[in-house]
Amino acid sequence: MSNTLFPNERAVIGKEMDGLRIEDVLGRGGMGIVYRAEELMLGRQVALKVIDPELVRNEEILRRFQAEARVLAQLSHPNIVLAYALRKTDLGLYIVMEYVQGKSLAQHLRAHGPMKWDEALPLIRQMLSGFAYAHEHGIVHRDIKPNNIMLTPEGQIKIMDFGLAKVLREDGGGMTRTMTRGGTLYYMSPEQVKSLKHVDHRTDLYSLGMTIYQMVSGRLPFSKKDSEFTILKNIVEANFPPPQSPHAALPPHVSQAIMKSLAKTPEERFADAHEMLAAFENRTPPKPKPKPEPPPPREQEVIAETTVISTSAFKSHRPRTFTKERSVEFVPERRSTRAAQRRAKKQRETRMLYAALIVGVVVLIALVITLIMMLV
Ligand SMILES: Nc1ncnc2c1ncn2[C@@H]1O[C@H](COP(=O)(O)OP(=O)(O)OP(=O)(O)O)[C@@H](O)[C@H]1O
Ligand SMILES: [Mg+2]
């Protein structure tokens, strides 16, 4: 990766910038480098994904990243990595997100080999819960693969990089390039390979099906010797063999559910994440829910001249300016705090009104009694 921001990616470790202290490199992917950092003001750990400048060549892509990041910031689910902010500074474009302790599912599978079905099922439940939530909010991941799924030491699943693929894919070729770089063509759905314009949530169900295939069998239905062309051709045309577990034979409904997820057309797959989970749990799917209203526009979204955590608070480094469209901070906690403050104020006012009324009534009664006594 030719990164003008960090020509030597470790050179920034220990440095402070934009209210953050860079602590370590967490990994590298098709989009750039991921660092662990500490948000100095809050003392919390975050992950910074610094986007390769080659991928953000023009203002249009930057604008789309910002639009997508706004949507991502609406997502709040225990199985989805939270996006806190997208910042564009003179240092480059980076996403500040929740830091997840643990390993990616890819690392876990490399270290421990294929999973037994009863180990895999609780993880699949969490993944599908995250998908059901995101899909109901109109967000499709488009780049599901074991590298983008984190597993914490407590067994919690966290899906990373929701929606980022959309921006690069719309750029035409950007996505295929990042997928090729990351060696992750294997999880692309047939409609993605065909570059169909409208891919929907069922593309995620396909990629998850391929991920589950690998989780339980320890392999993918491709040969390591396959060229990129053969991989793409097989995704579109080949009939994949059913997954085989090296542990106890997979229950037939599991094997069938995986194969249904890998159907060549979206119509042949599960209608949604709920139906897919029901198939893996071998039960009748729930009735589909009516489509929810799209989320309301955000009340408190700060698009600021400077970031909320201002660099000038830390005299040790050079204060930077951010142009209006270039720095977007997402502060959902603040929005709820403001709403709570408004509610508390209203309650205080109502209490004061009641108190005034009671005092008034008491004074009135006292006056009437005094008057009666005087008359008597
Ligand atoms: N929020 C996070 N918390 C902790 N570690 C992370 C986080 N995001 C990424 N990482 C680490 O950084 C590595 C690289 O992530 P990145 O998303 O850049 O690459 P990738 O997932 O391998 O490929 P792609 O760019 O196609 O998504 C991950 O494998 C993971 O180990
Ligand atoms: Mg990733």
Assess whether pLDDT exceeds 70 at residue 77.
yes
Q: What are phi and psi of 96, to 5 degrees?
A: -100, 125
Assess whether pLDDT exceeds 50 at residue 186.
yes
- pLDDT given at position 63: 79
More confident residue, 361 or 172: 361
Residues 113 and 32 in one domain: no
Assess whether pLDDT exceeds 90 at residue 270.
yes
Assess whether pLDDT exceeds 60 at residue 308.
no
Q: Determine, yes or no, domain membership for 286.
A: no
Residues 199 and 154 in one domain: yes
Residues 22 and 147 in one domain: no
Q: Does the C-beta of 207 come closer than 6 Å to ligand 1?
A: no
Q: Does the C-beta of 176 come closer than 6 Å to ligand 1?
A: no
Nearest CA owner, ligand 1 atom 18:
29
Residues 113 and 173 in one domain: yes
Contact criterion met (CB below 8 Å) for 226 and 254:
no
More confident residue, 184 or 268: 268
CA dihedral over 104, 106, 111, 116, signed as positive or negative: positive
Q: What are phi and psi of 315, to 5 degrees?
A: -65, -20
Average pLDDT, stretch 137-150? 92
More confident residue, 78 or 87: 78
What one-letter code names the amino acid at 360? Answer: G
Give DSSP secondary structure letters for 330-376.
E-HHHHHHHHHHHHHHHHHHHHHHHHHHHHHHHHHHHHHHHHHHHH-
More confident residue, 138 or 91: 138
Residues with CB under 5 A from ligand 2 (ion): 29, 148, 161
**Most confident stretch, 25-34, 184-193, 309-318:** 184-193
Residues 14 and 79 in one domain: yes
Residues 147 and 19 in one domain: no
146: CA distance to ligand 2 center in Å? Answer: 9
Q: Determine, yes or no, domain membership for 368.
A: no
Q: What is the distance between the alpha carbons of residues 202 and 364, in angstroms, rounded to a whole number?
A: 71
Number of domains composing the chain:
3
Q: Determine, yes or no, domain membership for 351.
A: no
Q: Does the C-beta of 148 come closer than 6 Å to ligand 1?
A: yes
Work out the pLDDT band at 47, boundaries 50, 70, 90.
Answer: very high
- The predicted-structure confidence for 364-374, as pLDDT tens digits, reads as follows 888 888 888 88
- The predicted-structure confidence for 245-258, as pLDDT tens digits, reads as follows 999 999 999 999 99
Assess whether pLDDT exceeds 90 at residue 125.
yes
Q: Determine, yes or no, domain membership for 245.
A: yes
Nearest CA owner, ligand 1 atom 12:
27
Assess whether pLDDT exceeds 50 at residue 297.
no
Nearest CA owner, ligand 1 atom 20:
29
- The predicted-structure confidence for 224-238, as pLDDT tens digits, reads as follows 899 999 999 999 999
Kindly report the average pLDDT of the chain as a whole number.
80
Catalytic residue among 18, 90, 118, 143: 143
Which of 64, 30, 68, 62 minimizes the C-alpha distance to 49? 30
By most ligand atoms within 8 Å of CB, the mutation choice from 3, 9, 22, 26 for ligand 1 is: 26
Which of 41, 166, 158 minimizes the C-alpha distance to 97? 158
Q: Determine, yes or no, domain membership for 190.
A: yes
Residues 117 and 260 in one domain: yes
Q: Which ligand ends up closest to the CA of 165?
A: 1
Angle at 77 between CA 73 and CA 81, to 5 degrees: 60
52: CA distance to ligand 2 center in Å? Answer: 13
Q: Specify the pTM.
A: 0.74
Catalytic residue status for 143: yes
Residues 274 and 321 in one domain: no
- pLDDT given at position 328: 45
Residues 49 and 197 in one domain: no
Q: What is the CATH number of the domain that holds 55?
A: 3.30.200.20
Question: What whole-number percentage of the chain has pLDDT above 70?
Answer: 78
Q: What are phi and psi of 130, to 5 degrees?
A: -60, -45
Average pLDDT, stretch 296-319? 30
- pLDDT given at position 73: 83
CA torsion angle for 65, 71, 72, 76 (degrees, to 10)?
170
Q: Give the 3-state secondary structure of residue 17.
A: strand
Average pLDDT, stretch 178-195? 77
Q: In 10 A of CB 236, how many CB atoms?
A: 13
Q: What are phi and psi of 21, to 5 degrees?
A: -110, 120
CA 83 to chain centre: 6
- pLDDT given at position 322: 30
Q: Does the C-beta of 89 come closer than 6 Å to ligand 1?
A: no
Average pLDDT, stretch 347-356? 82
Q: Determine, yes or no, domain membership for 188.
A: yes
Residues 227 and 244 in one domain: yes
* Residue bearing tokens 């060696």: 183
Residues 267 and 137 in one domain: yes
Work out the pLDDT band at 325, boundaries 50, 70, 90.
Answer: very low
Q: What is the distance between the alpha carbons of residues 40 and 20, in angstroms, rounded to a whole number?
A: 6
- pLDDT given at position 362: 84
Assess whether pLDDT exceeds 80 at residue 82.
yes
Residues 54 and 108 in one domain: no
Q: Does the C-beta of 25 come closer than 6 Å to ligand 1?
A: no
Which of 207, 62, 220 minimizes the C-alpha distance to 140? 207
Q: Which residues pair with 24 in a beta bridge?
A: 36
Work out the pLDDT band at 176, boundaries 50, 70, 90.
Answer: low
- pLDDT given at position 269: 98
Domain that holds residue 304: 298-331
Q: What are phi and psi of 275, to 5 degrees?
A: -65, -35
Work out the pLDDT band at 294, boundaries 50, 70, 90.
Answer: low
Q: Determine the atom of ligand 1 nearest the C-alpha atom of 81.
A: 1
Work out the pLDDT band at 100, boundaries 50, 70, 90.
Answer: very high
* Residue bearing tokens 């609780």: 122
